[in-house]
Structure 1
Amino acid sequence: MIVVPVKEGENIEKALKKFKRKFEKTGVVKELRRRQQFDKPSVLKRLKMEHAIYVQKLQQVEE
């Protein structure tokens, strides 16, 4: 459960922004979207490999 302490006299928009930030950090929405669709293990493996190649190329460019 997310708790956002609101100080006396604090603007409600500011408190709402704090809540949204905390909610985003929990990753609930991201996890929900990930679970809505089933991906085959082979597809996940391929995506993971493509990402690793991409990161490796970025690191090589920096050097």
Structure 2
Amino acid sequence: MIVVPLKEGENIERALKKFKRKFEKTGVVKELRGRQAFIKPSIEKRKMKMRAVYVQHLQQQED
């Protein structure tokens, strides 16, 4: 359960922004989107490997 404590006289829009940030950090929406369609473990591993190669390539270009 997400709790957003409000200070005295705090704007409701600011509290709503805090709530949205906390909600995004939990990863609920991302998980729900991921569960919409089944992805085979082999394909998931392949994507993770490709992403790792891409990130490593970017880091090598930086150096």
TM score, norm. by length of structure 1? 0.88
> In the TM superposition, what are the counterparts of 1:9-20 in structure 2 within 5 Å?
9-20=9-20
Q: After superposition, what is the alpha-carbon deviation per residue over 1:16-39, rounded to whole angstroms, capped at 9, x for unaligned?
A: 111111111111111111111100
Root mean square deviation, CA, Å: 1.0
- Mapped partners of 2:60, 2:7: distance in 1: 49
Q: What percent of counterpart residues are identical?
A: 75
Point out where structure 1 has 5 or more consecutive residues left out of the alignment. Answer: none
Give the aligned partner of residue 61 of structure 1: 61
TM score, norm. by length of structure 2? 0.88
Aligned residues: 63
Q: Counterpart of 1:16 in structure 2: which amino acid?
A: L
Point out where structure 2 has 5 or more consecutive residues left out of the alignment. Answer: none
